[in-house]
Structure 1
Amino acid sequence: MATPTKTVAIEEIATDFKESTAAVLTEYRGLTVAQLKELRRSLGQETKYAVVKNTLTAIAAKEAGIDAFDGQLAGPTAIAFIKGDAVAAAKSLTEFAKANDKLVIKAGFFEGNALDEAGIKALAALESREHQLARVAGVLKAPASAAARIVDALRAKLEENGGEAAEAAPADEA
């Protein structure tokens, strides 16, 4: 029989899974409290990095319909519940893991798909959402900019000719 405290913990973890676009399972054995604080700060406001109990997390993941962590929940475990930009959070985790070899990235899920360590590193290698949006905006802006330059060049040519081309056009139509 589950105690009320454990039931509440399971519900909280399940809610975190359901509200997250991504989650990354890590092992933090050997990290100091100061290092964990630094990691949490680097992940930003939209990512919750929580130390979890393995059995409760397994139950909560099952309730949330996530099977990405099957067989991975062993040892000191913490999960980064990512509600914002998954690429930025994955970058922060992989960069922190490079600097602190005691942080081990085990597995994760992103938009319902299970990821292994290589998948999380591949996610971290992508450009951030803001950079991708800026690139799309640039591509969308290019045709409008080209059209504006053409119209401006036509206006300048008309001014250079003293408006003769504008007067000649109606005569050609008649």
Structure 2
Amino acid sequence: MPAQYKIDKVAEIESHIKENAGLFVVNYHGLTVMQAQELRRNLREVGSEMKVYKNNLARLALKNQEQPEIGDMLVGPVAYVFYEQEPVETAKALKDFAAKTKDVLEVKGGISEGKAITAEDARAIADLPTKDQLLGQIAGLISGFARGTAVCVNGVASGLARAISQVSEQKEAA
């Protein structure tokens, strides 16, 4: 029979998996305590949280929650970065921190939208624009289209008015 603290820890991991949209698995070997604290602070700012669990307990919790198999990533000293909604900001924070620390931090992969992702997928996610940036781009496109339509419609009406004015002037002159 497993020890009670292990059962409690598996339940804690399962609740993190349920409450969050996904997770990244990172190798944090080589980070100093100060760097780890800075990373946790950076992740909190984007609505994410980094936790360290025993790999066997995490593997069991992932299996209990019917998550994809990512057992090959769960080797060595790894931490789990849980994100609540969008993976983009969390992936960007991890990428920026890895670059700042000269790649001491390594993203091994994770789970996003119920699917296992590789380290390359995580890097690709980090290169995507955030949801707010995309909404801004869409608003700009809509605004540009509306402005173009208004100019076009106004051009037709003003052209018609000029044509009527010229015809009127020609009739008065004659």
Q: TM-score range with shorter-chain normalisation?
A: 0.7 to 0.9
**Cα displacement (A) at 1:105:** 1.4
**Cα displacement (A) at 1:108:** 0.8
Contact 1:68/1:109 (CA < 8 Å) preserved in 2? no
Structure 2 counterpart of 1:11, one-letter code: A
Contact 1:68/1:115 (CA < 8 Å) preserved in 2? no
Give the match for residue 136 of structure 1: 138
SS at match of 1:78: strand
Give the match for residue 168 of structure 1: none
Q: TM (normalized to structure 2)?
A: 0.82
Structure 1 counterpart of 2:125, one-letter code: L
1:85 aligns with 2:86: yes
Give the match for residue 71 of structure 2: 70
CA deviation string 1:13-56 (max 9, x = no partner): 11212222221101111211211111112222510111111111
Give the match for residue 51 of structure 1: 52
1:107 aligns with 2:114: no
Seq. identity, %: 31
Give the match for residue 21 of structure 1: 21
State the distance in 2 between where 1:36 and 1:152 align: 59
**Cα displacement (A) at 1:72:** 2.0
**Cα displacement (A) at 1:139:** 2.1
SS at match of 2:147: helix
SS at match of 1:35: helix
Unaligned runs of 5+ in 1: 166-174
**Number of aligned residue pairs:** 165
State the distance in 2 between where 1:68 and 1:81 align: 17
Give the match for residue 61 of structure 2: 60
CA RMSD of aligned residues (A): 2.4
Q: TM (normalized to structure 1)?
A: 0.82
Contact 2:68/2:114 (CA < 8 Å) preserved in 1? no
Unaligned runs of 5+ in 2: 167-174
State the distance in 2 between where 1:71 and 1:158 align: 71
SS at match of 1:127: coil
**Cα displacement (A) at 1:57:** 0.4
